[in-house]
Structure 1
């Protein structure tokens, strides 16, 4: 990075974009330039919240910049890249922060001579202020054009990111893993609460019960690690109990029964072998791979 802050433009100004722009400004990595969103009002709100930048209401008003952060939802990234490419600006670098989409989703800019990268911080941005406070130490997965990846590594490292390189082909598994650990516990808690409710448990007991389980599981998981923290009928090998519960859940909700069966299979494997997933071709022992 140069001693003088580079210019950063935002395309889209949601929670991730605002959080990163605030951190980079504070660290002297970037100076915020133009902010382009679908709604002029949201661009103005972002500029007001960040205390810097210029709201832009039309792509034709965009000025050159050093780095462009495409901070749109995943499904809008290609369209955003095409919009900027059509503005006819000098080639620069463009990054996006999707955990799933590869850098190549910005192909319209690549074709115009830009360098692109994807840089995914593995952090919840539900509360931007909390995300800013928690960002230091966050794992950041990078892939894309080499020079863009190097610059992104410097920028994210300057605000405390712990960067590593990721192959584009591995992004669905990488992002799916983040979904498993961050998105599904609330689903499981909701399903458990609804089952208890259907069994006649008093409503005033349901919330405290799932909260107590969640706290205890989190404490054990952090203290002992996944394998040692595992409990339950699948881990104990009580297949009759598992099958009876799957049957009962099938009558209540087939999707729940399928999920319970699949998770029980993974739990049994973790208890038996110390790993939740079956060996892949790349990780299987040589003796097994040759058979």
Structure 2
């Protein structure tokens, strides 16, 4: 099949390279950024040409611009009548629906959202990770999209267009929020006396081990830790020590963890002792109990950090 790329960011460049390797023919490329085009040429030697010289001949048009420019890029093609019957217009955004590509329903092209469920630091990393990555697909050309994903070495999944925000929110929580959680954990390690760089180095193997457990035994069995054990005393001691600005996140995640932990207990033929469950719910909902760790926050403020 013949294709072209509008927008030569990390994802667009990597997809173009992998499609050419799979036997697709790249007819042309267009981008406003000289810098991204120079980077594109390092991986794929294709000339920058006017849209009218290649778009009408392509079977697939990838619009891999920034999300906010996808609609306007597609509208530009439609307004200039740069299309052919049956052509497929594709974007790779996780948040935008495929229909953003076709403002006029009568336009004789098919639309496809083809989002890699992956995070790419740069083009080199994207080229390594695309094969084996999962893709979320929705739009009028899902069947064709499935074949494209297979050709990229990926694994396709059909999406309900109306559920796209939920799908993207799940992707954000599993990717972006891990970074935010790592930052919070580093702050706590730092308060305990470990420098931030060493803290991150210490936490990464722990996070990698958790991901391996998820891959090996899945949910909810991969869950470990004090809430999974029903250890309310440990959770109480955490809440006595954690700075106020991090307590809301700890409690919110703790409530979700408690639900998951109960599912794990039930799956393993066990259940929480009633008293521990009541105490955990009380603590994670914002309750406070008297204990022997009342001085912990003051100790943190004075940088003694004795819990």
TM-score interval (norm. to shorter): 0.7 to 0.9
Instruction: Give the deviation of 1:141 after TM superposition.
Output: 1.7
- TM-score normalised according to structure 2 size: 0.76
Q: Is the 8 A contact 2:227 2:257 kept in 1?
A: yes
Rounded Cα–Cα distance in structure 2 between residues aligned with 1:125 and 1:160: 16
Distance in 2 between residues matched to 1:31 and 1:258, nearest whole Å: 52
Separation of aligned partners in 2, 1:202 and 1:13: 39
Deviations 1:248-271 (A, max 9, x none): 5462x1xx3222111111111111
CA drift of 1:27 comes to 0.8
2:92 is the counterpart of 1:102: no
The answer for unaligned runs of 5 or more in structure 1 is 1-5, 276-291
Deviations 1:210-243 (A, max 9, x none): 1342233233333332322212232233446435
1:273 aligns with 263
- Match of residue 139, structure 1, among 134, 143, 151: 134
Bigger Cα Rg? 2
Q: CA 1:109 to 1:140, structure 2 compared with 1: closer, same or farther past 3 Å?
A: farther
Instruction: Give the aligned length.
Output: 262
Distance 1:156 1:235 in 2: 38
Q: Distance in 2 between matches of 1:218 and 1:140?
A: 20
Shift of 1:127: 3.2
Secondary structure (helix, strand or coil) at the match of 1:226 reads coil
Distance 1:109 1:23, change over 3 A: farther
Q: CA deviation at 1:61?
A: 5.8
Tell me which moved more, 240-249 or 82-91.
240-249
RMSD, matched Cα: 2.5
Point out where structure 2 has 5 or more consecutive residues left out of the alignment: 266-307
Correspondence 1:72 to 2:62: no
2-structure distance, mates of 1:14, 1:99: 15
Counterparts in 2 of 1:89 and 1:215: CA distance versus 1, 3 Å: closer
Q: Is the 8 A contact 2:130 2:152 kept in 1?
A: yes
Name the SS of the counterpart of 1:169 in structure 2. Answer: helix
Q: Does residue 36 in structure 1 map to residue 30 in structure 2?
A: yes
Deviation for aligned residue 1:13: 0.7
Q: Is 1:124 paired with 2:119?
A: yes
